[in-house]
Amino acid sequence: MPFSDYKTALVTGASSGIGAAIVERFRRENIEVHAIARSGDALKALAERTKCIAHVIDVTDRAALAQLASTIPFDILVNNAGVDRPKKFLDADEEDIDLLVDVNLRAVLHICRLIVPGMVARDRGHVINISSIAGNYNFGGNSTYHAVKAGVAMLSNQLRLDAFGKRVRVTEICPGRVATEIFNHVHGNDSSVRERFIDGFELPQAADIAEAIAFAIAAPVAVNIGHMEITPTLQVMGGLQTARPQASETEEPKR
Question: In 97-177, where do the E strands start and end?
Answer: 125-130, 168-175
31 alpha carbon, distance to own chain's centre: 20
Q: Cα(9)–Cα(79) distance, rounded to whole angstroms? A: 11
SS3 label, residue 9: strand
CA distance 152 to 136: 11
Q: Minimal CA–CA distance to 108: which of 135, 130, 76?
A: 130
For 164-202, letters b (16+ CB in 10 Å) and e give eebbbbbbbbbbbbbbbbbbeeeeeeeeebbeebbeeee
Q: Which residues are known to be catalytic?
A: 145
- Measure the CA–CA gap between 184 and 158, rounded to whole angstroms: 33
Beta bridge partners of residue 129, listed in sequence order: 79, 172
